[in-house]
């Protein structure tokens, strides 16, 4: 009886060891995650330092769909499906990356370093504030990156809309492209959006400063 118990116990130990080994092998076989960030326009990425500028711009708030508010890169799979890529991720958050690159692009396009991202303390007068609701910013099954955004340029003193737009951008990926090509196409779509925002801001007169209250 004791011999049978010992043999049975040994078999259980060997089985547990085998299962544990297979589990470790499965973990070891999992590919490591790759991390990505958006890039600014090539000219903005390579420019020298800009000091000051003619206008002050506030950016934000910017909202994103909840489905994109995750570390994994998300792509569209058909009309209603999403692919959440566990092994290709954002280096930070997509929203922070979007704001960082958008501010770099606008700083270059408008020739100013006086750009502040909300919410943060404003240390100089602002001429305009740009808010945005990002509706879509992802890859598609047809091999493209799509950005759709509803945005407005406002007078920051009166919180009055000076221009309201809804624009869409589509950047095709090369055939057989990888995740790196998708992120490059997303960066290009954000660059095109930045150019449109800059063009609208340049075409607006600077809001008049508030009239000081009379002293009695």
Residue 35 lies in a domain: no
Q: Can you give the residue range of the structural domain that contains 116?
A: 55-202
The answer to whether residue 169 sits within a structural domain is yes
Residue 195 in domain: yes
Tell me the Cα Rg of the chain. 26
**Contact status, residue 204 vs residue 156, Cβ threshold 8 Å:** no
User: Peptide bond preceding 61: is omega within 30 degrees of 0, i.e. cis?
Assistant: yes
pLDDT score at 22: 38
Report the C-alpha gap between 90 and 94 in whole angstroms: 7
* Model confidence pLDDT, tens digit, residues 181-216: 999 999 999 999 999 999 999 999 987 776 665 565
Question: Within a domain: residue 117?
Answer: yes
**What is the structure's pLDDT at 21?**
43
Residue 42 in any domain: the answer is: no
Q: Which residues of the chain have pLDDT under 50?
A: 1-27
In-domain check, residue 213: no
Domain holding 178: CATH number? 3.40.50.10610
End-to-end CA distance of the chain: 107
């Amino acid at each position: 009886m004791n011999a049978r118990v010992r043999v049975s116990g040994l078999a259980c130990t060997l089985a547990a060891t085998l299962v544990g080994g297979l589990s470790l092998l499965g973990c070891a076989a999992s590919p490591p995650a790759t991390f990505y960030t958006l890039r600014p326009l090539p000219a903005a990425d390579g420019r020298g330092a800009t000091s000051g500028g003619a206008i002050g711009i506030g950016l934000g708030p910017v909202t994103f769909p909840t489905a994109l508010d995750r570390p994994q890169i998300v792509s569209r799979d058909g009309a209603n499906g999403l692919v959440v890529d566990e092994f290709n991720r954002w280096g930070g958050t997509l929203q922070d990356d979007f704001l960082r690159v958008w501010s770099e692009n606008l700083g270059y396009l408008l020739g100013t370093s006086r750009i502040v991202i909300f919410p943060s303390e404003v240390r100089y007068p602002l001429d305009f504030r740009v808010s945005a609701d990002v509706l879509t910013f992802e890859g598609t099954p047809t091999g493209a990156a799509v950005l759709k955004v509803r945005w407005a340029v406002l007078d920051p003193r009166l919180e009055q809309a000076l221009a309201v737009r809804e624009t869409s951008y589509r950047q095709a990926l090369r055939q057989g492209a990888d995740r790196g090509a998708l992120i490059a196409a997303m960066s290009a779509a954000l660059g095109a959006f930045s150019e449109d925002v800059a063009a609208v801001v340049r075409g607006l007169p600077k809001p008049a400063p508030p009239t000081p209250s009379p002293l009695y």
